[in-house]
Amino acid sequence: MSSTSRCSWLRLPRPKACLGFMSLQTGTELISTALIFNKATGLYGLLTLFTGYSLSALQVTAYLGSILVLAALAICLPHVRRQSPLPNLALAWVYAVDTLVSAAYTAAFATTWYLAAFHDTKGPAGAEDDAATSPSNGDVQHDEGQQAQVQAGTGVHDTAASMVLIVAFTLIRFYFSLVVMAYARTVLLRFVRESMPESEEVAGVSPDPFAVGAPLGEGWRGKLGRAMVCIGRGYWLGGKKEDEEWARQVNSKFRSTRE
């Protein structure tokens, strides 16, 4: 296998539709709206500071990050339907970075909760009252060791179910990130095709619309756009030839596995 083919298989996926039946634009709007409701909890979290409730530094930074994401969504979301290149590119970056940060916070919170639960002297179910675990009429009485084993077994099942849900939601967030990024890439390439028709691809990469002298290269917006496109330029501005080659290889691979 050539190096080009190997790199095409290792490249970041580029969905053509959201969930296989929804347009990228509609999917991006729904995903961003869902993120607004998710991040709105950051406002309520900060309000608890005024009630005297103590929060850890990790929780405070998470709530502050939620407010920043809300502000970015309020600015960028109206431009999804307008297909404005810079706001959609910024939205893709915000969602991707927030997904990574949220995954890190979730892992930290889950690890802390897991360790606290299994180091409890009463086991993962230690929050239950002793009266609730005491035998009633007709119940089989257990000694302290047997009760601890029963409680530990229940806690293990609850923890396993929680971990599965956490991993599932994290994977969904990563897929949604790919959808939002794919839509931003589509908006960029469409703008280049319509506003820079005389430009040509160089090494399979379309010209940068935020470059100095380009239609979107003026002022701080141009600097911001260049900074965001600079990382992963081949993804954001990759040409159609690369997409067609990748799709052709996927189809041939799929046919070979069925034969």
Highest mean pLDDT among 31-35, 40-44, 214-218: 31-35
Band the pLDDT of 247: cuts 50, 70, 90: low
pLDDT confidence tier of residue 69, bands split at 50, 70 and 90: very high
- Quick check: 92 and 183 in contact, CB under 8 A? yes
- End-to-end, the C-alpha distance of the chain in Å comes to 20
Site of tokens 């993962």: 124
User: Greater confidence, 79 or 125?
Assistant: 79
Q: Which pLDDT score is estimated for 128? A: 45
Share of the chain above pLDDT 90, in %: 29
> DSSP characters for the chain?
--HHHHHHHHSPP--SSBTTTB-HHHHHHHHHHHHHHHHTHHHHHHHGGGGT----HHHHHHHHHHHHHHHHHHHHTHHHHHT-HHHHHHHHHHHHHHHHHHHHHHHHHHHHHHHHHHTSTT-TTTTS-HHHHS--TTPPP--HHHHHHHHHHHHHHHHHHHHHHHHHHHHHHHHHHHHHHHHHHHHHHHHHHHH-TT---BTTBPPPTTSTTSTT-SHHHHHHHHHHHHTTHHHHSB-HHHHHHHHHHHHHHHHHHH-
Give the pLDDT score at 184.
94
Segment 156-174 shows an average pLDDT of 78
Give the per-residue pLDDT at 152: 47
Residue 187 near residue 28, CB atoms below 8 Å = no
Q: How confident is the model at residue 240 (pLDDT cuts 50, 70, 90)?
A: low
Segment of 78-82, 145-149, 232-236 carrying the highest mean pLDDT: 78-82
Q: What is the mean pLDDT of residues 87-109?
A: 90
**Mean per-residue pLDDT for 191-219?**
80
The percent of residues in the chain predicted with pLDDT above 70, rounded, is 67
Report the pLDDT value the prediction gives residue 59, as an integer from 0 to 100: 77
Specify the higher pLDDT residue, 183 or 196: 183
